[in-house]
Amino acid sequence: MIIPTSREEGKNLKKKYAVFEFSGRMSELKGFELKRRGELELVKVIQEDVFKCFLKGNTLQECYDICG
């Protein structure tokens, strides 16, 4: 499960998450542009690529390094 959050204490991004099965298939998505109609296709492609990269890391820092 990927849940974005702010690095500032007390500030969270609400109602945004992505859930993946162990196979890597996305099973649920909430609140991201990837799901919305009318958003730029570029934004959707970037989000999809970033989600796939995050699945390759075992720690938060590894995920950032892979996506970087």
pLDDT digits (tens, 9 = 90+) for 1-10: 666 666 677 7
Q: Does the pLDDT of residue 14 top 70, yes or no?
A: no
**Residue 33 belongs to domain spanning:** 17-67
Domain count, the chain: 1
Q: pTM to 2 decimals?
A: 0.58
Quick one: pLDDT band at residue 12, thresholds 50, 70, 90?
Answer: low
Burial of 18 (0-12, 13-18, 19+ CB in 10 A): buried
Q: Quote the pLDDT of residue 68.
A: 76
DSSP H or E run through 30:
strand 26-30
Tens of pLDDT, residue by residue over 21-41, are 888 788 888 877 777 788 888
- Rg value, the chain, Cα: 12
Q: Is residue 34 part of a domain?
A: yes
- Percent of the chain, pLDDT > 70? 84
Q: Is residue 1 part of a domain?
A: no
